[in-house]
């Protein structure tokens, strides 16, 4: 997604040590993610940055909710999201170990770093995979229609499922 200029931290002007930055993400942020699943949201972000000569250690904390469609009734719901992610930027120009995703090497002449992408990552990683309204809050009409379909489908076994089962039995 495109970087938000307000998520840029000009670190060269900062003293070594601890710094805190706070941001409010709203619908505009979720629209910019271009992820259809995220309709909107409101998330508070705190970045605790520990700056030293060669490293920026950022602890990103997100807390809020993202508006998504319920997996069950497809109605809109506010899905709570809360979590942390650590991101380390090295300022020496050396590449970190491959596969070490939390370590990112910045060019030696870099004087600022943008965090939009990491906010997005932190939110996506901390959203539950299954998003369903709390009990009894699904759209009652859709709920009823769905239970109807389930009943109608139950007596007919899916032929693909049976084929898979047969394959599994042969192998074991
Ligand atoms: Zn629902």
Q: Which structural domain range is residue 111 located in?
A: 5-133
**Cα(134) to centroid of ligand 1, in Å?**
8
Report the separation in Å between the CA atom of 133 and the middle of ligand 1, taken as the mean of its atom positions: 4
Tell me how far the alpha carbon of residue 125 lies from the centroid of ligand 1, in angstroms. 22
**Is position 169 within any domain?**
no
- The total of structural domains in the chain comes to 1
pTM across the whole model:
0.80
Question: Is residue 97 scored above 70 in pLDDT?
Answer: no
The contacts found for 149-152 with CB under 8 angstroms, 24 or more apart, are none
- pLDDT, tens only, 1-58: 899 999 999 999 999 999 999 999 999 999 999 999 999 999 999 999 999 999 999 9
Looking at residue 37, its pLDDT comes to: 93
Q: What is the pLDDT of residue 156?
A: 61
Inside any domain, residue 67: yes
Residue 117 Cα to ligand 1 midpoint, Å, equals 29
């Amino acid at each position: 997604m495109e970087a938000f200029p307000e998520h840029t931290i000009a670190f060269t002007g900062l003293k070594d040590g601890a710094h805190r930055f706070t941001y409010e993400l709203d619908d505009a942020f979720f629209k910019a993610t271009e992820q259809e699943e995220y309709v909107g949201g409101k998330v508070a972000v705190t970045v605790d940055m520990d700056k030293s000569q060669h490293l920026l250690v950022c602890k990103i904390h997100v807390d809020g909710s993202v508006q998504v469609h319920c997996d069950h009734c497809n109605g809109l719901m506010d899905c709570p999201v809360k979590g942390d992610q650590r991101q380390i930027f090295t300022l020496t120009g050396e590449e970190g170990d491959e596969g070490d995703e939390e370590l990112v090497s910045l060019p030696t002449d870099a004087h600022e770093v943008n965090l939009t992408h990491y906010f997005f990552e932190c939110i996506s990683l901390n959203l539950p995979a299954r998003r369903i309204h709390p009990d009894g809050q699904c759209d009652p009409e859709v709920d009823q229609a769905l239970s109807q379909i389930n009943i109608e489908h139950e007596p007919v076994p899916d032929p693909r499922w049976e084929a898979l089962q047969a394959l599994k039995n042969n192998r074991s």
